[in-house]
């Protein structure tokens, strides 16, 4: 909302610099985007001039050489406007004047003729948005030499307000004046609609009739009629106010409707009464396929639900949004039917969105206006029609209405303001603040009984809304103390999951990986590129109905795509070493959830619509370590990344195991399933070379695991001390030759199982293939440690366990070596 300062000051002049008032407004709830200036930066070089002679330029067809009286004598001014003529009263920019666009006017020769100034157009002065030539003022408006600022709004500050959507009252100049009064205490002039009420009915009913078919959509429709209207440009003062407020002047009738809307907040629409057959209007919903050409010359297709104002022949206006060209006011208009109606806000919003057509009117109507405003607008417009258009008012007003909403009374209980705000505001101060804001206030003991004015009817509906009003105009920011909640015995802290999540992330960071934050969205083709196919749930992503782009139209089901993309981008930008991890969510089909929020189990009565799991994933390509002069670095292999994974587990006290697994996007020979205490957490492996190459990557290792499961397996913080034994262990080494396809993990598991309670540790210390071993076999060397807690073991005691281990190894097809 653009509010020309002088216009507001006509109703309330706080006597403050516009910038200071802007700050006060900002601190009381109405943000001021900026204080703009209309016109030149300094109006002093602009004077009124009278053209006494306008002749053609000897060397240029399009230029005129004029003699202009500017108070101190005649000046020769070369003018390029086609409309310049002797006798005109104009605005002259004298040499030295600075135009709104920053250009300084100088004495200059134009095609050989010296020119001492410039005759200005509206656009050049910043007073208009378009002009056909110089601005021609009313004859005799002011004597030559009069500073132009005395007769034109050449020096206007405009407050550009960012009105919050609840404050429909501030979409009007008078509303802003009331606000200025409330926050500064400056006096407020009576509203421009004050005066005798317009009588309903009367002579107007003979020329205008209105039928409202759907009163819910149109709670009030008022209409007045004016005859003997003379269409002409509006007076300059009105035009310049409109321009300053961001509107384009058109003609006096249209300008009055805009002016009254800006002043009162109630939009109006003027029909050429002679183009409304029989003066009959009907308000109804549009019929499928119906069309209308609106005032902007565009033909629009209407849909049922959109409300229309129709004449006998069809649509004459889209209610509350834009009029139709069929009964547009034109130069030949002599009678006007003036509509001021109240529309159902949500329907206006919906229709304007559907039509992709927003107007000053719809912007106000969509927020819901009170029906009382319609009459106010009619009163103000009626006066202006008489004054400016020389019109005759047809007596009375057509008023089709479901009646006024019931007046709203609210109680503001004593102590309530303090209870909510935490600062004391005396009851007299409260009452005064509300009165200044236009509320009716009565005392009832320690309470206040408040009547809400129409301007705030839909905004202030509860006691709490009054608390806000009282607070905001009472210098809230400066007066409000800064306290902490009293008597709070709340204990803060991170949950166990949150603490361990941080530890897991830190652990990956400490192994040299950089954390990324990837997009939650991805492209729907990603699953296919990773060869993930149904029935794998990762092939069925949560899909957006209205994505910004196809690339970001589904929610990711794996973190792998984000990591591959980040690796690709970094390598293409010259990074040598890419080791990345992400701790983030994937979005899977709704399923059983848990444990905890990281497992998708969130507080609240309704389950989350999708299964959101926190995953932890890492991707490495190239060496893990930075370059050094002392040794050559090797690209990370499977075991390098597995080491990272194991360290992650170790940091949480969780022994992670890996067994051969399968993932569609992994190298089939280098692919493992990650487990903790027997349950599957995810995968680790080398990205399939064909898939890696789609991201321009080679030799790329990755893992992805569910965080909740990992953390659930962690004993961290719950460890129980176990007395360590003073008795020495018995260590025995064994080498077993076994078929290549038997995994080391199977061998270890078999040995541990067979070794019984005395076998406390088993480790692989060598794997050998080559001379002396058949081609499809390998030799695995293991160190077994036996120990008892309460005695030194003898060889005899170890032997049975040893034999069990040996037969377990033989059971796997192995034989002891040498």
Partner 1 sequence: MPSMVDRIEQIEAGGRQAVSAAASAAELEEVRVTWLGRKAELTAILRGIADLEPAERGPVGGAANRTRKALEAQIEERGAELAAAELETGLVEDRIDVTLPGSPARAVGHLHPITRTRRLIEDVMVGLGYRVMEGPEVEHDFYNFTALNHPEDHPARMLQDTFYVDPAGPVEAGDGPRDVLLRTHTSPMQVRAMEAAPPPIFMIVPGKTYRRDSDATHSPMFHQVEGLAVGEGITLADLKGTLLAMLREIFGPDREIRMRPHFFPFTEPSVEFDVSCFRCSGTGTLNDSSRCGLCKGIGWIELGGAGMVDPNVFGFVSDSGYDSDQITGFAFGFGIERIAMLRHGVGDLRLFFDNDVRLLEQFS
Footprint (CB under 8 A) of partner 1, residues 352-381: 353
Site for partner 1 in 449-468 (CB under 8 A): 462, 464-465, 467-468
List the x/- string, 303-342, binding to partner 1 by CB under 8 A. Answer: ----------------------------------------
The CA distance from 704 to 723, in Å, is: 36
Least Cβ distance, residue 467 to partner 1 (angstroms) = 7
Which one, 465 or 797, has the nearer CB to partner 1?
465
User: Please, which residues bridge with residue 491 across strands?
Assistant: none
Which one, 490 or 720, has the nearer CB to partner 1?
490
Contact 285, 313 (CB under 8 A): no
Q: Which two tokens stand for residue 554?
A: 């589904």
The angle at the Cα of 271, spanning 270 to 275, to the nearest 5 degrees, equals 165
Q: Return the H-helix or E-strand segment holding 23.
A: helix 18-26
Q: Which of 604, 605, 610 is nearest to 591 (CA)?
A: 610
Q: Which of 597, 615, 620 is nearest to 607 (CA)?
A: 597
Select from 145, 202, 414, 512 the one that contacts partner 1 (CB under 8 A).
512
Which one, 189 or 610, has the nearer CB to partner 1?
610
Least Cβ distance, residue 698 to partner 1 (angstroms) = 18
Least Cβ distance, residue 15 to partner 1 (angstroms) = 23
Q: Phi, psi (5° rounding) for residue 511?
A: -85, 10
Using CB under 8 A, which of the segments 20-28, 379-387, 714-722, 790-798 binds partner 1? 20-28
Which one, 477 or 790, has the nearer CB to partner 1?
477
List the x/- string, 423-452, binding to partner 1 by CB under 8 A. Answer: x-----------------------------
Least Cβ distance, residue 502 to partner 1 (angstroms) = 7
Listed in sequence order, the residues at least 6 apart from 429 whose beta carbon sits closer than 8 Å to its beta carbon are: 470, 474
Contact 271, 337 (CB under 8 A): yes
Site for partner 1 in 652-681 (CB under 8 A): none
Task: Examine residue 716 and tell whether it contacts partner 1 (CB under 8 A).
Answer: no
Which one, 509 or 815, has the nearer CB to partner 1?
509
Site for partner 1 in 38-77 (CB under 8 A): none
Torsion of CA 753, 755, 760, 764, to 10 degrees: -80
User: Please, which residues bridge with residue 75 across strands?
Assistant: 68
Least Cβ distance, residue 699 to partner 1 (angstroms) = 18
What are the Cα distances from residue 129, in Å, to 45, 207, 258?
Answer: 22, 37, 16
Least Cβ distance, residue 609 to partner 1 (angstroms) = 4
Q: Which two tokens stand for residue 716?
A: 């961290």
Select from 175, 471, 651, 755 the one that contacts partner 1 (CB under 8 A).
471
Least Cβ distance, residue 729 to partner 1 (angstroms) = 32
The CA distance from 504 to 650, in Å, is: 10
Contact 644, 581 (CB under 8 A): no
Using CB under 8 A, which of the segments 86-94, 448-456, 500-508, 670-678 binds partner 1? 500-508
Task: Examine residue 517 and tell whether it contacts partner 1 (CB under 8 A).
Answer: yes
Which one, 34 or 443, has the nearer CB to partner 1?
34
Other beta carbons within 10 angstroms of residue 465's beta carbon come to 17
Least Cβ distance, residue 622 to partner 1 (angstroms) = 12
Which one, 283 or 349, has the nearer CB to partner 1?
349
What are the Cα distances from residue 735, in Å, to 85, 731, 812?
Answer: 114, 14, 14
Task: Examine residue 407 and tell whether it contacts partner 1 (CB under 8 A).
Answer: no
Task: Examine residue 798 and tell whether it contacts partner 1 (CB under 8 A).
Answer: no
Using CB under 8 A, which of the segments 469-477, 662-670, 747-755, 772-780 binds partner 1? 469-477
Task: Examine residue 624 and tell whether it contacts partner 1 (CB under 8 A).
Answer: yes
Per DSSP bridges, beta strands 777-786 and 759-768 are antiparallel
Site for partner 1 in 519-558 (CB under 8 A): 519-521, 537, 540-548, 552, 555
What are the Cα distances from residue 34, in Å, to 147, 159, 160, 791?
Answer: 27, 6, 6, 87
Which one, 146 or 166, has the nearer CB to partner 1?
166
C-alpha torsion sign, points 271, 277, 279, 283? negative
The CA distance from 74 to 87, in Å, is: 13
Label residue 618 exposed, middle or buried (CB < 10 Å: 0-12, 13-18, 19+). Answer: buried
What are the Cα distances from residue 402, in Å, to 288, 418, 564, 808?
Answer: 27, 40, 64, 93
Select from 2, 6, 26, 37 the one that contacts partner 1 (CB under 8 A).
26
Site for partner 1 in 557-586 (CB under 8 A): 566, 569-570, 573, 575, 578-581, 583, 585
Site for partner 1 in 587-616 (CB under 8 A): 587-590, 597-598, 600, 602-610, 612
List the x/- string, 137-166, binding to partner 1 by CB under 8 A. Answer: ---------------------------xxx
């Amino acid at each position: 909302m653009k509010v020309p300062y002088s216009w507001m000051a006509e109703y309330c002049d706080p006597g403050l610099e516009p910038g200071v008032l802007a700050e006060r407004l900002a601190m009381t709830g109405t943000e001021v985007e900026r204080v703009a200036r209309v016109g030149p930066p300094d109006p002093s070089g602009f004077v009124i001039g009278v053209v006494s002679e306008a002749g053609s330029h000897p060397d240029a067809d399009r230029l005129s050489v004029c003699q202009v009286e500017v108070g101190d004598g005649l000046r020769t001014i070369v003018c390029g406007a086609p409309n310049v003529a002797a006798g005109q009263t104009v605005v002259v920019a004298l040499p030295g004047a600075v135009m709104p666009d920053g250009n300084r006017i100088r004495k200059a020769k134009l095609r050989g003729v010296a020119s001492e100034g410039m005759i200005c157009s509206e656009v050049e002065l910043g007073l208009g948005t378009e002009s056909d030539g110089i601005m021609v003022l009313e004859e005799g408006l002011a004597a030559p030499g009069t500073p132009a600022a005395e007769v034109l709004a050449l020096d206007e500050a405009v407050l550009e307000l960012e009105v919050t959507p609840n404050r429909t009252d501030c979409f009007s100049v008078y509303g802003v004046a009331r606000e200025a009064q409330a926050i500064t205490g400056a006096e407020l002039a009576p509203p421009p609609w004050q005066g005798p009420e317009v009588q309903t009915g009367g002579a107007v009913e003979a020329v205008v009739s209105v039928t409202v078919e759907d009163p819910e959509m149109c709670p009030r429709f008022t209409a007045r009629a004016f005859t003997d209207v003379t269409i002409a440009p509006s007076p300059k003062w009105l035009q310049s106010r409109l321009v300053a407020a961001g509107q384009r002047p058109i003609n006096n009738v249209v300008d009055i409707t805009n002016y009254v809307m800006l002043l009162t907040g109630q939009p109006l629409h003027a029909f050429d009464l002679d183009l409304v057959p029989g003066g009959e209007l009907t308000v109804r919903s549009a019929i499928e396929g119906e069309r209308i050409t609106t005032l902007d010359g565009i033909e629009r297709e209407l849909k049922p639900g959109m409300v229309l104002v129709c004449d006998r022949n069809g649509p004459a206006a889209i209610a509350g949004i834009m009029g139709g060209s069929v009964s547009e006011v034109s130069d030949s208009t002599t009678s006007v039917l003036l509509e001021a109606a109240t529309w159902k806000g949500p329907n206006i919003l919906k229709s304007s969105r559907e039509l992709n057509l927003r107007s000053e009117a719809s912007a106000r109507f969509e927020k819901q206006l009170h029906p009382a405003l319609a009459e106010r607008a009619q009163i103000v417009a009626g006066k202006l029609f008489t004054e400016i258009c020389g019109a005759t008012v047809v007596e009375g007003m057509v008023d089709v209405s479901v009646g006024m909403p019931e007046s709203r009374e609210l109680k503001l209980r004593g102590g309530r303001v303090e209870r909510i705000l935490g600062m004391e505001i005396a009851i007299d101060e409260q009452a005064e603040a509300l009165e200044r804001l236009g509320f009716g206030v009565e005392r009832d003991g320690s309470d206040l009984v408040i009547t809400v004015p129409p301007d705030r009817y839909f905004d202030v509906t509860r006691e709490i809304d009054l608390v806000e009003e009282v607070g905001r105009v009472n210098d809230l920011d400066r007066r409000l103390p800064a306290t902490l909640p009293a008597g709070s015995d709340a204990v803060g802290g991170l949950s166990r999951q949150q603490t361990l999540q941080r530890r897991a992330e830190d652990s990956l960071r400490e192994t040299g990986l950089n954390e990324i934050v990837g997009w939650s969205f991805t492209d729907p083709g990603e699953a296919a590129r990773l060869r993930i196919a149904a029935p794998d749930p990762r092939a069925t992503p949560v899909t957006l109905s209205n994505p910004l782009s196809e690339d970001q139209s589904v929610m990711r089901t794996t973190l792998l795509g984000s990591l591959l993309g980040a690796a690709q981008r970094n390598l293409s930008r010259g990074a040598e070493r890419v080791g990345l991890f992400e701790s983030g969510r994937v979005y899977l089909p709704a399923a059983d959830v848990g444990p905890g929020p990281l497992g998708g189990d969130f507080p609240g009565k309704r389950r989350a619509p999708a299964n959101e799991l926190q995953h932890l994933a890492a991707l490495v390509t190239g060496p893990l370590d930075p370059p050094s002069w002392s040794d050559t670095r090797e690209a990370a292999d499977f075991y390098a990344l597995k080491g990272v994974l194991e360290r992650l587990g170790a940091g949480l006290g969780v022994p992670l195991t890996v067994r051969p697994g399968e993932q569609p996007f992994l190298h089939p020979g280098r692919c493992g399933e990650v487990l903790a205490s027997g349950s599957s957490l995810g995968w680790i492996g080398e990205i399939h070379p064909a898939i890696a190459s789609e991201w321009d990557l080679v030799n790329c290792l990755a893992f992805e695991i569910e965080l909740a499961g990992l953390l659930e397996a962690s004993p961290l913080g719950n460890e129980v001390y176990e007395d360590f034994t003073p008795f020495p262990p018995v260590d025995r080494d064994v080498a077993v030759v076994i078929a290549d396809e038997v995994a080391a993990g199977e061998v270890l598991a078999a040995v541990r199982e067979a070794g019984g309670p005395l076998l406390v540790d088993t480790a692989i210390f060598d794997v050998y293939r080559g001379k002396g071993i058949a081609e499809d076999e390998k030799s695995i060397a293991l160190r077994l440690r036996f120990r008892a807690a309460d005695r030194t073991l003898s060889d005899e005691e170890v032997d049975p366990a040893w034999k069990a281990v040996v037969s377990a190894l033989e059971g796997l097809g192995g034989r002891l070596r040498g």
